[in-house]
Amino acid sequence: MRDMTQTEIINFIQYFTWGTLIGVEGDRPYAVELSYGFDGNYIYCGSMPGGRMARCIRDNANVVFKICECDWSYSRFRAVIVEGHAERMISRDDIMKAVVQIARQRELPDQAFAGVVDRLVDNPHSNSLRIAVTTVGGKIAGY
């Protein structure tokens, strides 16, 4: 196993569409699996409005975003971790950019998720997030 290069990390984040958002509620960690988008600077994602992760982020915006893959024999493994601050987005422009990035990450039309934007704009319970990709690390084996 070795550390991934910065280029390998960025390529890996761009390649995948699914990751784990990890927050803290009080003194307990909490994680959700979700789709995400990446524009080269930010990971865009979100969770259920008013749900447990939304409460975690409201009370402590320090998060980890984890993306990994492994074969059944564990001989091939890649994992990236992004540590950062989850910024809650409420403006139409920010949320639209997020859903477009998520659609693009999944190779869908830009407007594939546009229908959710109206439900999230100015919603005090919305949990549309962006996480700056500045503190990252990655491990790789068997590639």
pLDDT digits (tens, 9 = 90+) for 14-41: 999 999 999 999 999 999 999 999 999 9
3-class secondary structure, 80 = strand
Q: Which residue, 49, 52, 56, 59, is CA-closest to 118?
A: 49
Phi, psi of 56 (to 5 degrees): -60, -50
Report, as an integer, the average pLDDT of 110-123.
86
What share of the chain has pLDDT > 70, as a percent? 100
Give yes or no for a contact between 127 and 53, defined as CB atoms under 8 angstroms apart.
Answer: yes
